[in-house]
Structure 1
Amino acid sequence: MTNLKAYAPASADLEGGLASLRGDCARMVPHWAAPERIVPLPVPLSLIHGVKVPPTSARLLEAMSDYGD
């Protein structure tokens, strides 16, 4: 059996609502590090060769409406 107190020193409110969840998240914020923003480099057109779609997927997509009509 797992000892939950060893992993969660703060009391866990399993029956709490949204306010409890937001409080839990606010307490965890200092433990989370956001990665530095990564700016993607443009891909040279010579490296783009197209997309291969299996015939069954192509038929499925062809049968779908364009905008969810």
Structure 2
Amino acid sequence: MPWFRWLVSAFAIAFPVLFAAYLLRGQSMSHALSESLAWGAISAWVFVMGKINNVRRGRRCAACETLAE
């Protein structure tokens, strides 16, 4: 299931960035946590859906190929 690995890695990148941004804006810890979880999940799903769409259409990812080598 490569889509699950894509989802987890996208969430692992998006969540801490969003969480730090909310904290730097002066939001409370609980608000920052809930918003970061929600928007991190949404952004990870958008990333995965776009990647699945590209794979189905046969489009190649130049960045992915260079990282794999």
The answer to whether TM tops 0.5 is no
| Greater Rg over alpha carbons, structure | 1
TM-score interval (norm. to shorter): under 0.3
More helix per residue = 2
Per the normalisation by structure 1, the TM-score is 0.25
Structure with greater contact order relative to length (CA < 8 Å, sep ≥ 6)? 2
